[in-house]
Amino acid sequence: AGRFENCVIPVALHCLADISSIRLHIPKDLRPPSHRQSVAQALAEVEQHYQKVPLLDPVEDMQIDDEPFKKLLKKMELLAERLDSDAFRVPTVAPRLAQYARKAGLKARIEEQQRLIKQAASMILKDELKAMKRALRRLEFLEENDVVTTKGRVACEINTADELICTELIFSGLFNDLNPMQIVGLLSCMVFQEKSNENATPRDDLLGPIKTLQDTAARIARVQSESKIAIDVDEYVGSFKTHLAEVAYLWAKGSKFSDICQVTDIFEGSIVRCLRRLQELIEQLASAAQIIGAEPLVQRFREASTRIKRDIVFVASLYL
């Protein structure tokens, strides 16, 4: 239709998309118009002969026999097929890009909300920490400049039971007036957390110490509540159960394990577990009393520990 002229122009390598496996013989000098015309005719013949010009195959034509290279080539072919599929054609790209933009926007909003949640949680933890420090200062476990007091050092020795109550009981002098059996019976209230259907009524010589324990727990709970710590005073006091007090008292007194099991509906395994925890707590209280130099109290705790650490409760294994 229109007139055109065959020209020779330079092309950079990065402008080449593909290389064909067909090789044309080109004259060395393409300045004469007849030479350029012959090249144009050869290209026209190739287009007529092939519906699609064959490309140079690196494996078949160039004899590249390298497994990693073949895997990369296979991935390229798969990606090319996906790019040629309907999903990437112009009419469907726009809505997919819009969906991706919405997804990116939602992801950004999620990240922002997560950052705000983390910031709020950090503020809550800071408020709780301030409330705990306020309560510890009021209970004299910390000084005004947050230096740990002697009571605080004693509390650090206890981790088997509520360290605040145990420390308060030590400093109140309650244990100084109790014998080893009473100490064991009282401290059983600190380690027994299981449910029981029986109506637990401690013996008379444990009523006073248990009442002191409950009053101390109520006082500590009120201080925590006044310090803005979320706590239910009645629930906190009720968490110190007396169901194992009689059992622990009799065990420390020297009763047989079969005999103490008859006075309660608590499972034998629960009794063994609580007595083991009780012995660990008493050892920690002995270490705590040693910090303040209360040697008579240390000996009292050690004697209580010796009384319960015996027989089947503390054997290494029940298998003979």
Interatomic CA distance for residues 172 and 189, integer angstroms: 18
CA distances from 28 to 25, 32, 34, 155 (A): 9, 11, 13, 98
Summarize pLDDT for 282-295 with one digit per residue, the tens: 999 999 999 999 99
Write the CA distances from 7 to 4, 25, 35, integer angstroms: 9, 17, 11
Angle at CA 258, nearest 5°, toward 262 and 245? 55
d(CA 299, CA 295): 6
Per-residue pLDDT, 84? 74
Low-confidence ranges of the chain (pLDDT < 50): 1, 320
Q: Does residue 160 contact residue 305 with C-beta atoms inside 8 Å?
A: no
User: Tokens 């629960």 — which residue?
Assistant: 270
Encoded tokens for 290: 């040693």
Structure tokens of 16? 């080449």
Residue type, position 62, single letter:
M
Q: What is the pLDDT of residue 175?
A: 93
> How many Å apart are CA 220 and CA 239, to the nearest integer?
13
Rounded Cα gap, residues 76 and 53, in angstroms:
19
Q: How many Cβ atoms from other residues are within 10 Å of residue 175's Cβ?
A: 22
For residue 309, the 8-state DSSP code is: S
| pLDDT the model gives residue 1 | 47
Residues 182/174, Cβ–Cβ less than 8 Å? no
Residues contacting 277, CB < 8 A, separation 6+:
160, 191
Q: What are the structure tokens assigned to 111, written together?
A: 């990240």
CA atoms within 13 A on the CB side of 49: 9
**Could you tell me which of 289, 282, 285 has the C-alpha nearest to residue 308?**
282
Q: Report the alpha-carbon distance of residue 45 to residue 308 in Å, rounded.
A: 106
Tokens of 196: 């029981």
